[in-house]
Structure 1
Amino acid sequence: MFTLLKNTNLYAPKALGKKDILIVGEKIVAIEDNLDAYINKNTNIWDAKGKTVTPGLIDQHIHVIGAGGKRSFSSMTPEVQLSELIACGTTTINSLLGTDGTVRDIRTLYGKVKALEQEGISTSMFCGYYGVDTPTITDSIQADMIFIDKVIGCKIAISDIRSSYPTATELLRKLNQIRNGGFIGGKKGILHVHLGDLDTKMDLLFELVQKHQFPIEHISPTHVGRTETLFNQAIEFAKLGGMIDITTAASQYIAPYKSVLYALEQGVSIENLTFSTDGHAGLTKFSDQGNAIGTKSALINKNLEETVLLVKKGNLPIEEAFKLVTSNPAKNLGLKYKGIIKVNNDADFCVFDNDLNLVDVFAKGKQMMKDGVVIVKGNFES
């Protein structure tokens, strides 16, 4: 069965103009001005009617089995459901543990990312959590990288009172396992680094790159927009060639889209910036008087919202703004067939109307949202 998307206004994310896209199974097999030659009785024709089509969005930092627990067991956040992801155009996720590596189990995380894949989207994960004592599925980070299909890197925390205060040597030993395991497992391999608000900021990461000369592309700092001083240091990291990740649903001193605009003004390339939501992280809920009254989940639709704001309020071209949630995170994670609409890549698409409202979503060649309504839900969703 062929699926032919007709009359798309295509951003791959590069602006390509009016194009037809031919899908066979889960893959893109042709992109041309006109592909009517492939129309036959077995062709499913879907007319985009000139709507804007981008790659499906990638969320590289999301807690699909929930997180939180900062106010005892009842404050742990719930699992993410498939329909939540489709509703905001997310067709690829990379998930991880948070502060908690005890109640939240690494094998449970693996099971959830496998389940979401079976339900229709693309998934990967990191081993590790905040601590230096890395939870793994096998007996080591390197073995996870080699033998566990979904594991593409490892997470750790620095500059946070909840971290284990790792040394540069400890981080280098983890990076050694990640990189060597990636060589054998056919993965890029990255150390994904949670940044807190302590004065040490990203000092350890600069030590890894400048003193120990570790390749910067394997080091992935996140929550860089937590404070102004941290973000200014992150800008210098990006100028060295590093990829910096701006959290859209938590850990921010100004609106994330404004952080992007500021970074660009300071000379950072758009190619070195990504968005991620930290979706379903546990956030403190405050009363109107500023008192803590409970916990809420970080919203998973913020990547889409902030990207649209980059276009509408920041005046960035669509082809530049959408890099932060498509081609850039794909490059950061080493996802070979994601983030760009091109022949042989996976058929993941977001379709927008003239006002950049999301109206249709395709994941791995299957339509998941139609006319603004999610039509494919998870197994246990009503």
Structure 2
Amino acid sequence: MLTLIRGAQVLAPESLGVQDVLVAGATIVAIGPDLSLAGNVEIDEIDGTGCYLTPGLVDTLTHITGGGGEGGFNTRTPAMELSDAVRGGVTTVTGVLGTDSVSRTLPDLLAKAAGLEADGLTVVCHTGSYHVPIKTLMGSIQQDLMLVERFVGVGEVAIADHRGSQPHWRELARIGAEARTGGLLSGKAGIVSVHVGEGKDGLDLLFAVAEHSSVPLSQYYPTHMNRSTVLLDQGVRFVAGGGYIDLTASHTPEILAAGEVKCASALKYLLDQGADENRITFSTDGHASLPHFNEAGVLESLKVGSMASMHEEFRDAVMEDGVSLTAALKAVTANPASVLKLDRKGRIAQGLDADLLLLDQKSLEIRRVMARGQWAMIDGQVVLKGMFEAR
């Protein structure tokens, strides 16, 4: 089956104007005005008039096996289902471990990733978790990156957080150096995803690594950077030093009341401060716990990260905060694909993977989702679900 999407305004993420896009199998094979095919070939032809055609969203932080547990075993959050990603327009996810690396394990992470990919998503993973020394599968970071195809980086390693291992900058330098070498030798990103907590030290450890070692800032990829405007200001400095930073789309009223900046507004703030729009990303933190601790460190509430949050914050950035459509779309497509070194993702071009969204031009609501050439949502209804999901 060939799929021909006609008459949509293509955002690649840069605007290509109104074009037709032809998909064969899982690949974009042609882009142009008024495409036609001769012969007796069956074609699924879709009218994209009134819609934007964009790349599928690329999520760099997803707790696909669930997370949490900060309030005891009954607060371990549930694993992600395929339809959770589809509803949010997410076609590529990055599976990670977080606070819990005892009951949550790397073998389970890889098994869940393989299952989601068999169902239709694209899934990569990071080795390790919050904790230092890094727990690996094959014995070292370098071996995990070189010998386990699905591992593309390390993390999310926690700094400035009471739940982390309180690492020294020298330990972070060693982690970064080993990940860098593993990435170079395997042709992968080798990035170190860094969970930044609410501690006052913020990114100080990462700046110390850059100052005292040969490991560059660009080796590290700090997330949850919208915890405060103080941290956002550090993020401007980090981006100027050549790194990427990530904003968390999932939030709760309690977290926002404590000083976190809404993701969409944080993007506007960063751009107004002169940060490079090509080095800022959004992630969902999907299925992570979203705990709120009081000043004494006591857990007061806990909710779950949403896979729909990244699309919601992209939409709000454009429609409420006045961010340009291209800059906002880059943050959820091309930029995260660049961080992960996924060259076939995050853009629309001939020869790239057919991960596509049709968005209503007026509301930016998702009308259709295509993952690896297969329709996963049609007219707002999920049609691609996991093995054990209700149909």
Instruction: Name the counterpart of 1:311.
Output: 318
**Scaled by the length of structure 1, what TM-score is found?**
0.95
Instruction: Name the counterpart of 1:343.
Output: 350
Equivalent in 275, 288, 298 of residue 281 of structure 1: 288
Instruction: Name the counterpart of 1:201.
Output: 202
Equivalent in 296, 306, 318 of residue 299 of structure 1: 306
Instruction: Name the counterpart of 2:274.
Output: 267
Alignment CA distance shift 1:345-1:25 (3 Å): same
AA aligned to 2:219 is: H
Instruction: Name the counterpart of 2:365.
Output: 357
Q: 2: distance between equivalents of 1:356 and 1:312? A: 9
CA shift for structure 1 position 2: 2.1
Q: 2: distance between equivalents of 1:49 and 1:86? A: 22
CA shift for structure 1 position 38: 5.3
Alignment CA distance shift 1:38-1:164 (3 Å): farther
Q: 2: distance between equivalents of 1:148 and 1:135? A: 14
Instruction: Name the counterpart of 2:137.
Output: 137
Alignment CA distance shift 1:80-1:38 (3 Å): farther
Q: 2: distance between equivalents of 1:125 and 1:38? A: 42
AA aligned to 1:29 is: V
Q: 2: distance between equivalents of 1:11 and 1:39? A: 30
Alignment CA distance shift 1:157-1:327 (3 Å): same
CA shift for structure 1 position 352: 1.0
3-state SS of 1:325 partner: coil
Q: 1: distance between equivalents of 2:182 and 2:215? A: 16
- Spell out, residue by residue over 1:194-219, the C-alpha distance to the aligned partner (whole angstroms, 9 max, x if none): 11121221111112223324233221
Instruction: Name the counterpart of 2:387.
Output: 379
AA aligned to 1:151 is: F
Q: Which moved more, 1:208-217 or 1:268-277?
A: 208-217
- Spell out, residue by residue over 1:72-123, the C-alpha distance to the aligned partner (whole angstroms, 9 max, x if none): 1100000010011101100000010011100111110111111110000101
Please tell me whether the aligned partners of residues 248 and 256 of structure 1 are also in contact (alpha carbons under 8 angstroms). yes
Q: 1: distance between equivalents of 2:325 and 2:241? A: 26
> Structure 1 vs Structure 2: percent identity of aligned residues?
36
Q: 2: distance between equivalents of 1:242 and 1:293? A: 34
Please tell me whether the aligned partners of residues 9 and 19 of structure 1 are also in contact (alpha carbons under 8 angstroms). yes
> How do residues 209-220 of structure 1 correspond to structure 2 at under 5 angstroms?
209-220=210-221
Alignment CA distance shift 1:321-1:229 (3 Å): same
3-state SS of 1:62 partner: coil
2:124 is equivalent to residue 124 of structure 1: yes
Alignment CA distance shift 1:319-1:40 (3 Å): farther
**Scaled by the length of structure 2, what TM-score is found?**
0.93
Please tell me whether the aligned partners of residues 350 and 358 of structure 1 are also in contact (alpha carbons under 8 angstroms). yes
Q: Which moved more, 1:345-354 or 1:294-303?
A: 294-303
Instruction: Name the counterpart of 2:82.
Output: 82
2:55 is equivalent to residue 48 of structure 1: no
Please tell me whether the aligned partners of residues 18 and 50 of structure 1 are also in contact (alpha carbons under 8 angstroms). no
Please tell me whether the aligned partners of residues 154 and 179 of structure 2 are also in contact (alpha carbons under 8 angstroms). yes
- Spell out, residue by residue over 1:12-33, the C-alpha distance to the aligned partner (whole angstroms, 9 max, x if none): 1100111111111111111111
Instruction: Name the counterpart of 2:72.
Output: 72
Instruction: Name the counterpart of 2:34.
Output: 34
Please tell me whether the aligned partners of residues 177 and 215 of structure 2 are also in contact (alpha carbons under 8 angstroms). no
Q: 1: distance between equivalents of 2:213 and 2:87? A: 44
Structure 2 residues not aligned, in runs of 5+? none
CA shift for structure 1 position 269: 1.3
Please tell me whether the aligned partners of residues 70 and 299 of structure 2 are also in contact (alpha carbons under 8 angstroms). no
Alignment CA distance shift 1:201-1:293 (3 Å): closer
3-state SS of 2:327 partner: helix
- Spell out, residue by residue over 1:255-280, the C-alpha distance to the aligned partner (whole angstroms, 9 max, x if none): 11111111111110111110011111
3-state SS of 1:78 partner: coil
AA aligned to 2:172 is: L
- Spell out, residue by residue over 1:7-64, the C-alpha distance to the aligned partner (whole angstroms, 9 max, x if none): 1211011001111111111111111112113574232222212411110001111111
Q: Which moved more, 1:114-123 or 1:225-234?
A: 225-234
Please tell me whether the aligned partners of residues 217 and 332 of structure 1 are also in contact (alpha carbons under 8 angstroms). no
Please tell me whether the aligned partners of residues 207 and 217 of structure 2 are also in contact (alpha carbons under 8 angstroms). no
Question: What CA RMSD, in Å, does the superposition of the two structures yield over aligned residues?
Answer: 1.7
Q: 1: distance between equivalents of 2:228 and 2:210? A: 22
Instruction: Name the counterpart of 1:158.
Output: 159
3-state SS of 2:44 partner: strand
Q: 2: distance between equivalents of 1:159 and 1:195? A: 6
AA aligned to 1:302 is: S
Instruction: Name the counterpart of 1:59.
Output: 59
AA aligned to 2:235 is: A
Structure 1 residues not aligned, in runs of 5+? none
Please tell me whether the aligned partners of residues 78 and 280 of structure 1 are also in contact (alpha carbons under 8 angstroms). yes
Instruction: Name the counterpart of 2:4.
Output: 4
CA shift for structure 1 position 293: 6.6
Q: 2: distance between equivalents of 1:43 and 1:109? A: 38
Q: 1: distance between equivalents of 2:225 and 2:36? A: 47
AA aligned to 1:81 is: E
Q: Which runs of 4+ in 1 moved over 3 A?
A: 37-40, 291-295
AA aligned to 2:269 is: Y
Q: 1: distance between equivalents of 2:239 and 2:369? A: 32
